[in-house]
Amino acid sequence: MDTLNQRIQHFYDRSTALWLDTWGEHMHHGFYGEDGKARKNHRQAQADLALELLKWGGVENASHILDAGCGVGGSARLLAQLYDARVMGCTLSPVQAEQGRRYNKAAGLEKKVEIRAQDMMSLSDADGPFNLVWSLESAEHIREKQQMLNLFFKLMAPGGKLLVATWFHRPLPPELSQKEKALLEGIYRYYHLPPLVSVPELAAMARASGFERVETADWTNAVAPFWGAVMRSGFRWRSVKGLLRAGWPTLKGAWAVRYMIKGYRMGLIRFGVLQGQKGGGQKL
């Protein structure tokens, strides 16, 4: 495991209990309508993000699904139930994997959903083929994004669908200013990220990997309210105690919420979605 992966694992090992206590099993942004103005329970907004991604991707059926970067398996269980599918999820965090297995058992899905403490980049042909590869807020942690997309394509059955939702920086040109670069460096440091790319860059990589019908959309406005909610939740006494128990890396991550809010306001941080299809077979 490289140093970046070690830092990611440590961050999620320490912060997951606090997140679950405050936000529940969906460890990602919420969806607040296309314009971000819908008022809703934040946990419902998180579930809605997954449902909106499936709707946007036009996924009507899937039998074998990879949840690449699954957290505690919130999306994996949702997908298993929606499609009566087998789902394999990967997370770098043994703490998340163990918690995910407990959730699976409680939901009666232990035979449908497998959650591994494994680097998604170490998956092989023997693990597939998958007819849906799902990557919800995990691709931002991957340093070699072209290699990631190459692997997803390799693991996918003909006719399979790729759905990715992740963090980006704004499209270029113009080139990033020094102020923008400084803000991004803070986000990278506190959230253990390699450099982000833009939506057009990731789309070009997906096409280079062999994906067809590549489409993208910018959902920044739809998810931006989530960071304000995260900031407000941190001021609750229960959350403060949880932060103190979780330790310094989690405290720094909570402090960095202000960088994310500023990045959204500047138009620097973008939340985008991407879909692609592997040729051959039956379209999902």
Judge contact between 144 and 93, C-beta under 8 A. Answer: no
Helix, strand, coil distribution of the chain in percent, nearest 5: 50, 20, 30
CA dihedral 51, 57, 59, 62 (to 10 degrees): -100
88 within a domain of the structure (yes/no): yes
Cβ atoms within 10 Å, residue 240: 12
Q: Could you tell me the pTM of the whole model?
A: 0.91
Q: Is residue 186 part of a domain?
A: no
Question: Is residue 62 situated within a structural domain?
Answer: yes
Residue 261, in any domain of the structure: no
CA distances from 68 to 111, 244, 264, 282 (A): 19, 30, 25, 22
Containing structural domain, residue 88: 3-173+195-223+270-277
> Given this model, what pLDDT does residue 282 score?
67
Per-residue pLDDT of the chain (284 residues), as tens digits, is 469 999 999 888 888 887 787 778 998 999 999 999 999 888 899 999 999 999 999 999 999 999 999 999 999 999 999 999 999 999 999 999 999 999 999 999 999 999 999 999 999 999 999 999 999 999 999 999 999 999 999 999 999 999 999 999 999 999 999 999 999 999 998 889 999 999 999 999 999 999 999 999 999 999 998 887 765 654 443 444 444 454 444 445 455 788 888 999 999 999 999 999 999 876 55
Kindly state whether residue 282 falls inside one of the protein's structural domains: no
Confidence (pLDDT) at 78 = 97
Question: What CATH number does residue 158 fall under?
Answer: 3.40.50.150
80 falls within a domain: yes
Q: What token pair was written down for 204?
A: 């070009």
CA distance 186 to 45: 27
pLDDT of residue 125: 94
Q: Is residue 139 in a domain?
A: yes
In a domain, 231, yes or no: no
Cα–Cα dist 113/106, whole Å? 12
Q: Which residues of 60-74 are buried (b: 16+ CB within 10 A; e: fewer)?
A: eebebbbbbbbbbbb
How many domains does the structure of the chain reveal?
A: 1
Place of tokens 């990045």: 263
Q: What is the DSSP string of 60-82?
A: ---SEEEEES-TTSHHHHHHHHH
